[in-house]
Structure 1
């Protein structure tokens, strides 16, 4: 399966995209206030948001190929942001959970 253009059609998708969108502001705030826990909270909340998204909407079993590709792209964006946030915090990421 290949990732595609992200389409927002469900509340869980919208919530996840809004969380992703807040990353730059979170980084700026954490740096300006010298409070890394702000970034920790963002990463934690993003992981929770992804969990809700994953529980609410099928990805691999989605029959519509465009919708499946959209959800794969959204999942990839979340993974990249989680990896980036954890890397900034100096937290190593396990290969597999």
Structure 2
């Protein structure tokens, strides 16, 4: 069973990623390429460059921050609160 994943905090001015194995952070990467500072690159290009050292592992990725905003990679809609976890899964 794979207990590894990549966690990402992608804000408007910075991008940070952490590699987790078995609940522990074992590596990290950071960049000033926030969603408003991509300098002509696509979010996919910036992300692939940042995680290149981990890319061969095919790990799941959890992203948070401005990456889900209208200015980010893929806009994530808002949901009415309060909301249960099962309702979040449905969208």
The structure carrying a bigger strand percent of its residues is 2
In the superposition, the TM-score normalised over structure 1's length comes to 0.27
The structure carrying a bigger helix percent of its residues is 1
User: Larger relative CO (CA 8 A, sep 6+): 1 or 2?
Assistant: 1
In the superposition, the TM-score normalised over structure 2's length comes to 0.28
